[in-house]
Structure 1
Amino acid sequence: MNDLFGAEFLQASPLILAGPILQQTDSDTVTVWVALQRPCEVVLQVYDTANHGNLITNLLLEGRRATYALGKSLHIVVVTAESAGRYLLSCDRIYAYDMQFIESSTQQQTLQQALCSSRFPTVNISYFDHQKPTFALPPTDLQDLRIVHGSCRKPHGDGFDALPILDCLIESAANQPRQRPHQLFLTGDQIYGDDVADPLLWVSSQLGDALLGWEERLPLIQQTAADPSYVTPKQLLPGHRADIATHQAGFTAGLHNKTAKVSSHLLSLGEYYASYILSWSPACWPSSLPKGREVMHGHRVSRRWDKEVQDMQQFIHTLWKVRRAMANIPVYTIFDDHDVSDDWNLNQAWCLRVLGQPLGRRTVQNALLAYAVFQAWGNTPKQFTPGQPGEKLLQAAADWSASGGMNMVAWDAIARYLGMPPTNPRTGLPEFVQYDSVLVLDRDPEALTWHYTVRSFCHEVIVLDTRTWRGYPADQKPIAPPMLLSPPAFTQQLSQPLEQATHKPKGLSQMQATFVIAPTNLFGLQVIDWIHHWHLKREKVYGVDVGDAWNINYEALAKFLTTLFEQRQQVIVLSGDIHYSSVVRLSYTRKSIGSEKKSVLVQLTASAFKNEEIITEIIHTRLKQWLLPEKSRQWLGWTNPPYMVEVSRRKSYRDASSHRPPEWHGLMEWISRTSTQTADFSTNISWLMTAKEQAKSHKWEWLQYLAFWKLSWFQDGREVIGLNNLALVHFETDNNNCTKVMQDLYWFSTWYPIKVVYSRFESELIHSKLSKS
């Protein structure tokens, strides 16, 4: 077991370790990400199809690029296909793509050959007989647009993984370009760097070292001369990292007696690399995992290991569907905190605590480098073209790995291009710069930007980075809640994209829908607000993420709303983070002399893919609406300077606005979900459970009818979906030109037999006749 990923394992593994993942795709370029175990030149070809996608026809786009050696057995590339003749892809068609992998003048593999090996003799990543992955561009009519989103996918989290449901959605409409999903947005926590199952760390640590071909020297602070100055990942065993993660790295997830959250924290670059591969592909998982008694000491920790192994096996069982889905739909991502560590950049105190420690800074940089390579590269491939900061980052990462982690010039270059703040040589703490009344982490002018905008024929999606551009109040305590977007971030990430001229196909007068991706919620449950303010008063901010919700800082939220509504009349916000799904509608009315302007914001929250908890399972049911129903809430606001106050029955209008008349009014309402429906593709979900899970389900079948809390009538709550879920967003316009946005939340029923079911949330957008200015 000590040489789990030796030469024999890699020889029996396919050339492709993870992928292909279809990423940024528009009318003139198609981008695909892939991770290989050997260096190659990769050719990407995009084809037209006929007969509803069943027949491959003309070659339309082509591109090629060589891999980057990020480890001895890890070679990654994002290749973009373009048209030499400026051929433009159109909507309402099915397109297919193929890949070739050229290792030498005499050695070349097709996509299908590169996916297969002795361990995986057959691999299917297509929905058609031709075995090529396919996609369809977003339509010109908003009513035909299908967007999928979700967040928070923890491999050992409770419940079944909901991301494989995407494969069912695509498969059921694969030959229908208007009906199949057009884009997937992963809105945060694609991996978990902090809350890691012991078996996952055990595999990640060994796989990471095998991929790199060297062992990383993780820096430590020496309290005495006899203390070690560094450790390697394998010296930090699963289940035994709480002390080093909390005190040497400074991470906050393990504070307040929550050591289990960091007892297997990822630390090394190889571990972060490996976690992505293990989350997206079955290719590097060993055929079996050891029993707890073989690797752990103690009955309690051995039992926990065995339970987590069962979770891992169930997770691995459906990974083939995740892999196929991500090959057949454009995938766009943005990080949240767990992609690095819980509470990442939560407040100024966290930055000082973690980035002021050598191991904390090293781990954050490792996590950001892994994010750049595995996610950001495909989001914004132009940043990684020759001469651009991304390409310089890739070269520095290759140099760092080639040196076995000893080339500090390369390491410093990586820090610069990732936007890591410089360290003050006198204090050892990260540097900040001040904008107005807030402090922002300093960054090099050449640093990559993580925010971006996606535009299509009928919609635009503005993806925000609310982690690395925060504004920390300069005149308050370091634990004070920040602005999730600092003043320069508001300009660069929101104002400028909203002002830019959008790509409008001929015949379209305006963009039909504007989406904004905010990884953390603008508005949440009222009880969560109470909890946040209660903990803030007691200066206990880390346990419940005080500062990650927009409405804990009213100045920033008011600026966000006014900035949006200055440019757009209706906005749809996609968010995740909070492990339940819901829909909230904010009606915004701005008054001026002799007129008023009405706008609307609809917040669509989808979380978690795999991380349901006891509390979310409770609020999923009717119990929540019986005991603590959500009520409408109202705010009064001002634009210069931006601010807002909530109006309640205990506060009069005069109390809230005595200093000057309000300039706008906001009314927030919770949208109720419809009764649960069975999905059309739910007739056969034999793919869902492992043999052990199926046997367990049959064994307790009789109990299903006694457990009333699992039955459909009790599970049919009205406010939130609290079980693992995936969201499909689409639109409907009636004869009166009134448009509704609909979010269908798909989840697995708790009753027997288990089915894929969904509940729908419907919210009206602005009716054109209701607005006047």
Structure 2
Amino acid sequence: MTAQLLIGPVLRRVDGDRATLWLETSSPALARVEVDGAGAGSTRTFSAYGHHYAMVTVEGLAPDSANPYRLFLDDRQVWPEAESEYPPPVISTRPTDDAAQPVSLIFGSCRKGTPQVSGRWLPPDALDAFSRRLMTDPETRPDLLVLLGDQVYADETSPKVRRFLRARRSNGHDGPADQVVGFEEYTKLYLESWRDPEVRWLFSTVPSVMIFDDHELIDDWNTSASWRSDMAAQSWWRERISAGLASYWIYQHLGNLSPDELAADPLFRKVSEAEDATELLHEFGLRVDEPGSAENTDVPYQWSFSLDLGRTRLIVLDNRCNRVLTPGARAMLPAAEWNWFVNRAHGDYDHLVVGSSLPWLMPPAIHYLEAWNERISESHRPRSAAFGEKVRRTFDLEHWAAFGKSFAALGELFRRLGEGGPEAPGHRVGAGGAYRAPASISVLSGDVHHSYVARADFGHAMATPVYQLTCSPIHNEVPLPLRPLMRVAWWPGVVHSVRALALTMSVRKPLLRWKKLAGPYFGNAVGTLRLDGTVASARIEGTTKEGDLHDVVAVDYRR
């Protein structure tokens, strides 16, 4: 049987003279990539759940180049397609000595794969709009696309996927009628979303990294220990969590790893060598569905990752799977993973960028509400705790403020880094022997279906500016009744009232303050962060009714 290209190629990491590309095929095949000028790589597909995938590592790329490439399956060219109306896909590399070269990141989250969802039509897709602009203006090509969660929605499906699910349920497959459960059902989400023509071309020519949020599994994923207990009682949940994490590992996480990290990953090695990796991945999905530990022990699997681009360090954090949910010791990351993060946050770079699917700095009124809710949900009075848990789930009160110790620890880490000095070991030594703080710290986030920029104030002059950049959704929308609430949550009078509520549970005022500089903007959008020398420039662009991009937020900051 002749292998067909189902999804991809998706260009993932470009590291020096090497690059990785991900793809899915209809049957086993030898996948080969040839790059004009210099560079080639090939590998055989691996199989799981009756599907076939490949991670092709291309080696020998020329520095400081943007060369077209071709993908072959068993010596038959399948990409670019013969009749394609789009520009040839390219693999771009940075100069060998790229310390003085600027870095450009595109970011965002929350993308529905089709324009129609649940009987309603969504505004134009911002990723489609960015792709069309890049086709006509290659100079706008970014170094990296950073997708910050909800790349697919397992619990909010399109009419086409729901028809498929109804047929599956009628044939005896357990699960909700309108939500995916098994691996085969997950593949339909990626097929629907990633074969969008403009997005498919964009993925084939711009490197990308990705991290999950809740909707890859289900809304409110791992919000509390009580939530986990309730979900475990559902007959279909074990299959959902196993398939969800296994499919995320294949479709998204593998591409976050460099060629060396892929080679060192024991699971990837086993999967690549297995004739059929279904059982391996099914067991993996169940095994890694364990809440994190407050103790300094290894996590079942680390989803967080890091990479350097020129003088910029990007660290993307898992805000979902490895949370510590033990009452009284709740944390966004378990101790071992937090220590890894702190170690990566110290080093020789100019700009630190932290990818967090959930915003660190929320509208202050919502921050205090979440902090109050965390306290009341852990009350020793059963009725109070039950009330707090009900409020938590109803209003999605599960951001950094709902993990108060982690919120404070992240702020303290940024303060120490921003002040420089001996407290920030690992920083390069500047003139005169003093430690030099980074030029900027930026937290990229999504989730909340609106976009805004806020700056942290640590109460004293600090060399490094610290910014929260939130861009969401790429292709979704926030219900109209919620939009006024997002606006007033920044108003001082409202903040004061909710803080008074938080004081009833002895919630302390944070050691830092933050101020909104721009937003909120409620349309579909993509964000751009450009880092050049000591200057960071951020902008958020929304889509017009015609599907074009226009500026809605712009801000510059420097040391």
Normalising TM by the smaller chain, what interval?
0.7 to 0.9
1:741 Cα shift?
A: 2.4
1:433 Cα shift?
A: 4.8
CA distance in 1, matches of 2:481, 2:530: 25
CA distance in 1, matches of 2:42, 2:227: 42
Q: Secondary structure at the match of 2:393?
A: coil
Partner of residue 363, structure 1? 240
Contact 1:725 1:745 in 2 (8 A): yes
Partner of residue 77, structure 1? 54
1:390 Cα shift?
A: 2.1
Shift in alpha-carbon separation, 1:77–1:497, aligned structure 2, 3 A: same
CA distance in 1, matches of 2:216, 2:269: 22
Task: Give deviations 1:494-527, integer Å, cap 9, x for gaps.
Answer: 112123x55xxxxxxxx22110001101122244
TM-score (norm 1): 0.60
TM-score (norm 2): 0.81
Return the match for 2:253 from 376, 388, 391. 376
Shift in alpha-carbon separation, 1:382–1:742, aligned structure 2, 3 A: same
Partner of residue 84, structure 2? 123
Shift in alpha-carbon separation, 1:647–1:740, aligned structure 2, 3 A: farther
CA distance in 2, matches of 1:395, 1:348: 37
Q: Secondary structure at the match of 1:385?
A: helix
User: Aligned ranges for residues 627-638 of structure 1 at < 5 Å?
Assistant: 628=488, 630-631=490-491
Contact 2:46 2:271 in 1 (8 A): no
CA distance in 2, matches of 1:646, 1:491: 36
Partner of residue 381, structure 2? none
Shift in alpha-carbon separation, 1:199–1:70, aligned structure 2, 3 A: same
Return the match for 2:458 from 575, 583, 588. 588
CA distance in 2, matches of 1:187, 1:754: 22
Return the match for 1:760 from 546, 550, 553. 553
Task: Give deviations 1:247-289, integer Å, cap 9, x for gaps.
Answer: xxxxxxxxxxxxxxxx4010111011221121101xxxxxxxx
Q: Secondary structure at the match of 2:555?
A: strand
Contact 2:471 2:527 in 1 (8 A): yes
CA distance in 2, matches of 1:162, 1:765: 28
CA distance in 1, matches of 2:24, 2:42: 15
Shift in alpha-carbon separation, 1:754–1:378, aligned structure 2, 3 A: closer
Contact 1:41 1:64 in 2 (8 A): yes
Q: Secondary structure at the match of 2:155?
A: coil
CA distance in 1, matches of 2:158, 2:320: 25
Contact 1:746 1:756 in 2 (8 A): yes
Q: Secondary structure at the match of 2:512?
A: strand
1:343 Cα shift?
A: 1.5
Contact 2:345 2:352 in 1 (8 A): no
Asked if residue 605 in structure 1 is aligned to residue 470 in structure 2, the reply is yes
Contact 1:150 1:726 in 2 (8 A): yes
1:452 Cα shift?
A: 0.9
Task: Give deviations 1:612-635, integer Å, cap 9, x for gaps.
Answer: 02338845xxx986xx372579x9
- 1:81 aligned partner, one-letter code: V
Shift in alpha-carbon separation, 1:27–1:204, aligned structure 2, 3 A: farther
Task: Give deviations 1:326-369, integer Å, cap 9, x for gaps.
Answer: 11100100011111111111211222233465521221010111
CA distance in 1, matches of 2:17, 2:213: 30
CA distance in 2, matches of 1:748, 1:204: 33
Partner of residue 400, structure 2? 550
Task: Give deviations 1:12-48, integer Å, cap 9, x for gaps.
Answer: xx8111111100112121111111112111112333x
Shift in alpha-carbon separation, 1:498–1:578, aligned structure 2, 3 A: same
Asked if residue 21 in structure 1 is aligned to residue 15 in structure 2, the reply is no
Q: Secondary structure at the match of 1:276?
A: helix
Partner of residue 485, structure 1? 333
1:460 Cα shift?
A: 1.2
Contact 1:585 1:763 in 2 (8 A): no
User: Aligned ranges for residues 360-759 of structure 1 at < 5 Å?
Assistant: 360-380=237-257, 381-385=259-263, 388-393=266-271, 399=276, 401=278, 410=280, 413-415=283-285, 419-421=288-290, 433-435=293-295, 444=300, 447=301, 449-475=302-328, 482-492=330-340, 494-499=341-346, 501-502=347-348, 511-529=349-367, 532=370, 537=376, 538-539=387-388, 540=390, 541-547=392-398, 549-568=399-418, 569=437, 570-589=440-459, 597-615=462-480, 618-619=483-484, 628=488, 630-631=490-491, 665-672=511-518, 719-731=519-531, 739-749=535-545, 755-759=548-552
Asked if residue 196 in structure 1 is aligned to residue 157 in structure 2, the reply is yes
Q: How many residues align?
A: 515
Partner of residue 424, structure 2? none
Higher relative contact order (CA 8 A, sep 6+): 2
Contact 2:292 2:324 in 1 (8 A): no
Contact 2:293 2:335 in 1 (8 A): no
Contact 1:671 1:761 in 2 (8 A): no
Contact 2:243 2:282 in 1 (8 A): no
Shift in alpha-carbon separation, 1:498–1:181, aligned structure 2, 3 A: same
Contact 1:607 1:726 in 2 (8 A): yes
Q: Secondary structure at the match of 2:521?
A: coil
Shift in alpha-carbon separation, 1:204–1:412, aligned structure 2, 3 A: closer
- 1:63 aligned partner, one-letter code: G
Contact 1:26 1:89 in 2 (8 A): no
Task: Give deviations 1:61-113, integer Å, cap 9, x for gaps.
Answer: 222110012244x3110111123xxx6623xx3233222221xxxxx20134x
Partner of residue 257, structure 1? none
Contact 2:10 2:204 in 1 (8 A): yes
Contact 2:148 2:212 in 1 (8 A): yes
Partner of residue 141, structure 2? 180
1:651 Cα shift?
A: 11
Contact 1:21 1:32 in 2 (8 A): yes
1:731 Cα shift?
A: 4.7
1:188 Cα shift?
A: 0.2
Task: Give deviations 1:270-313, integer Å, cap 9, x for gaps.
Answer: 011221121101xxxxxxxxxxxxxxxxxxxxxxxxxxxxxxxx
CA distance in 2, matches of 1:366, 1:650: 41
Return the match for 2:178 from 244, 251, 264. 264
Partner of residue 336, structure 1? 213
Q: Secondary structure at the match of 1:470?
A: coil
CA distance in 1, matches of 2:147, 2:250: 16
Return the match for 1:109 from 76, 83, 98. 76
Partner of residue 702, structure 1? none
Contact 2:125 2:547 in 1 (8 A): no
Shift in alpha-carbon separation, 1:78–1:160, aligned structure 2, 3 A: same
- 2:526 aligned partner, one-letter code: L
Q: Secondary structure at the match of 2:465?
A: strand
Contact 2:98 2:310 in 1 (8 A): yes
Q: Secondary structure at the match of 1:32?
A: strand
Shift in alpha-carbon separation, 1:629–1:453, aligned structure 2, 3 A: closer
1:759 Cα shift?
A: 1.5
Q: Secondary structure at the match of 1:38?
A: coil
CA distance in 1, matches of 2:489, 2:502: 21
Q: Secondary structure at the match of 1:524?
A: coil
- 1:498 aligned partner, one-letter code: A
Shift in alpha-carbon separation, 1:743–1:754, aligned structure 2, 3 A: closer
Shift in alpha-carbon separation, 1:204–1:330, aligned structure 2, 3 A: farther
1:721 Cα shift?
A: 1.4
Partner of residue 160, structure 1? 124
Q: Secondary structure at the match of 1:514?
A: strand
CA distance in 2, matches of 1:589, 1:143: 33
Q: Which segments of 5 or more consecutive residues in structure 2 lack a partner in the other structure?
A: 377-386, 419-436
- 2:127 aligned partner, one-letter code: L
CA distance in 1, matches of 2:200, 2:165: 19
Contact 1:452 1:463 in 2 (8 A): yes
